[in-house]
Amino acid sequence: MNSIVCIKRVPDSEARIRVASDGKSIDPSGVKFDMNEFDKYAIEEAIQRREAAGGGQVTVVTVGGDDARETLRQALAMGADEAVLLRADPSLDGLPIARALADEIGPRPFDLLLFGKQAIDDDGMQVPAMVAELLGLPCATVVVSLDIEDGRATARREIEGGHEVVEFGLPGVVAAQKGLNEPRYPSLKGIMAAKKKPLEEKDVVLVDGGLELVELSGPPARPEPQIVGEGAEAVPELVRRLRQEVKVL
Amino acid sequence: MADVIAYVEMRDGMLRPVARETVSAARALADELGGGVVAVALGGPGSADAARELGSYGADRILAAEHAALTNYHPDAAVQAIESVSNATAAAAIVFPASARGKDLSARVAGRLDRSLAAEVTELSVEDGAIVVTRPVYAGKAYAKLRFRATPALISIRPNVFPVVEKQGDGVVETLDIEPGEARTRVTGIEGGSRERLDVREADVVVAGGRGLQAPENWNMLDDLVDALGPQATLGASRAVVDAGWRPHGEQVGQTGKVVSPSLYFAIGISGAIQHLAGMQTANVIVAVNKDPEAPIFGVANYGIVGDAFEVVPRLTEEIRTLRDSGG
């Protein structure tokens, strides 16, 4: 079972985000970066499939800067076999990223092409299905369970108030949601082994997709918080304000 | 040409709530561009009748395809249908709901048409002839304003953000002829979940619980509050209680869960980690109940009560029931 997993280096979910003075990027100072959480489910799935099949390759690919090497090494430490860094400037537009990934992945043989369901920086939720269309492959997004038998996959994907059951033949694209598995932590042995695994680097040029960033700004300010009171005695006053001040009850 | 296509989401032969928001948003955009709204509705036999009412939200043409194979989501047929309508109308924009299906489909269409997609858009306008959108990034810790230079502009709108606006006039229902072929990706069914409750992204009122509730069985208390608030209310959860296995993933609110924008959000026993705040700070009104007066949740709450959830929540439920019973 051969899998390719596309991953991304993003600010940690507990990071405070401040807009940089250029108004077009975030200020990276003091921001801890980590592998996108959903990508860990994708890597774990690929490793488990390889282990269950008793053979195969897990290749991780990212589009990013030099610092993305660290994220690729993390994936190799989890148990991926090889890594590819497509070096490019960041893009808030998903389409150029999807094109670069499709160009790289298209010629490679694989059974499963895995992604995290969403990168928690640009929150675009689009690159997996875009790549699937660009490569003419079946695709299931936001997947919480995956069964594969005789070259056919059955996935359950999260929808509003339930799950959709999706079937497709391999090779296919899966975007992983939390719940798909329990991602492993890299072992010390894994971290040591990762240093010797192949990491290929190449420069790519992202082709403008026609979506231009005008500006980045902070979130709109919340109204001044009010403490209504303490304990159950404060409830009638809370209900009064919800009815009369903001009229939501 | 400045028509705007609206993808209309249906399930079980009925319009999803977000479908009216999608058509209303498309109408507002088309008015700025000086074009019409073409609604595309795909569903099982009989679904075209349900799509008829979209005329009263501003759809000029309603292109309806009815086919047994379209009863469930059929991504390949939907991509093909939208591609053909897009080519036939030379549309300026295609508007989708940023629902589970809408996000899946919009990304496929973007790949097929080789056009950029702005997802989870919260503002939509036209400046100097170009479509300009604002969308949250970093789960709402920042907002990106983006300008489309190519058409059609692909946009998915965040549920519960764009108003539903009723319009005078009837849309013309036309049959959209598509023959759903062999599907590469085949949806074979939908598994229930709790269909009696709205999804946390679609509900108008969210009651979210955290660690402060101490044990999963204490969710009875939140259930009672949701019941008292009525059918537009639903449950949410913090990451901590989902990770602990107390609540299902589908309820998780936050940067690695769902980002919600209800009219009213109750945070019960939730301290307010940054990743949680990112997921709910666009709620219109936030109420926090927490024992710890220093909890960060009080920094974003319109109204806070410092106190024990086990005392405050039952009293709140009682007050709201009384209010409902008195016709308030």
**End-to-end C-alpha distance for chain B, whole angstroms:** 49
* Chosen domain end from B124, B157, B175: B175
| CB pair distance less than 8 Å for B303 and A241 | yes
Q: Domains, chain A, ranges and CATH?
A: 3-203 (3.40.50.620)
Specify the number of domains making up chain B. 2
Same domain for B118 and B240: no
Q: Is there a contact between A66 and A87 (Cβ–Cβ < 8 Å)? A: yes
Question: Edge to edge, what strands does the sheet with A162-169 contain?
Answer: A199-203, A82-87, A58-64, A3-7, A112-116, A172-176, A139-149, A152-159, A162-169, B185-191
pLDDT at position B192 over 90: no
Shortest CA gap B62–chain A (Å): 25
* Chosen domain end from B156, B175, B194: B175
pLDDT of residue B79: 97
For residue B26, name the pLDDT band (cuts at 50, 70, 90): very high
Q: Is residue B180 part of a domain?
A: no
Same domain for B226 and B169: no
B263 touches chain A (CB under 8 A): yes
Same domain for B149 and B225: no
| CB pair distance less than 8 Å for A219 and B143 | yes
Other beta carbons less than 10 A from residue A109's beta carbon = 8
Q: Is there a contact between A130 and B110 (Cβ–Cβ < 8 Å)? A: yes
Same domain for B76 and B210: no
* Antiparallel, parallel or unpaired: β B4-8 and B93-97: parallel
Q: Is there a contact between B190 and A163 (Cβ–Cβ < 8 Å)? A: yes
Same domain for B263 and B212: yes
Peptide bond into A236 cis (omega under 30): no
Q: Which two tokens stand for residue B37?
A: 């709204």
Q: Is residue B183 part of a domain?
A: no
Q: Is residue B188 part of a domain?
A: no
What confidence tens digit (pLDDT) does each residue in A170-209 have? Answer: 999 999 999 999 999 999 999 999 999 999 999 999 999 8
Average pLDDT, chain A: 96
Q: Which of residues 266-295 of B touch A (CB under 8 A)?
A: 273-275, 278, 281-282, 284-287, 293
Q: Is there a contact between A165 and B190 (Cβ–Cβ < 8 Å)? A: yes
CATH number at B132 reads 3.40.50.620
Same domain for B299 and B238: yes
| CB pair distance less than 8 Å for B118 and A211 | yes
pLDDT of residue B12: 84
Contacts of B145 in chain A (CB under 8 A): 213-217
* Chosen domain end from B154, B175, B196: B175
Interface test with A, best of B120, B138, B187, B287 (most A CBs within 10 A): B138
Residue A94 amino acid letter: G
Q: Structural domain of residue B152, as residue ranges?
A: 4-175
Q: What is the pTM of this model?
A: 0.94
Contacts of A176 in chain B (CB under 8 A): none
Same domain for B94 and B160: yes
| CB pair distance less than 8 Å for B117 and A179 | no
What confidence tens digit (pLDDT) does each residue in A223-241 have? Answer: 999 999 999 999 999 999 9
Distance CA(A140)–CA(A146), nearest Å, equals: 10
Distance CA(A91)–CA(A212), nearest Å, equals: 9
Q: Is residue B287 part of a domain?
A: yes
Average pLDDT, chain B: 94
Q: Is residue B20 part of a domain?
A: yes
Across A64-90, average pLDDT = 97
Same domain for B211 and B169: no
Same domain for B210 and B171: no
Nearest by CB to B184, from A124, A168, A229: name it: A168
Other beta carbons less than 10 A from residue B78's beta carbon = 22
pLDDT of residue B1: 61
Same domain for B220 and B140: no
For residue B182, name the pLDDT band (cuts at 50, 70, 90): confident
By CB atoms closer than 10 A (0-12, 13-18, 19+), residue A172 is buried
Contacts of A215 in chain B (CB under 8 A): 144-145
CATH number at B260 reads 3.40.50.1220
Contacts of A142 in chain B (CB under 8 A): 100, 104
Nearest one of A39, A122, A117 to A83, comparing CA atoms: A39
DSSP assignment letter at B307: S
Across A105-134, average pLDDT = 97
Across B29-53, average pLDDT = 95
Contacts of A248 in chain B (CB under 8 A): 205, 263-264, 284-285
φ and ψ at residue A26, rounded to 5 degrees = -100, 155
Q: Is residue B146 part of a domain?
A: yes
Q: Is residue B10 part of a domain?
A: yes
Same domain for B52 and B160: yes
H or E element, residue B71: none
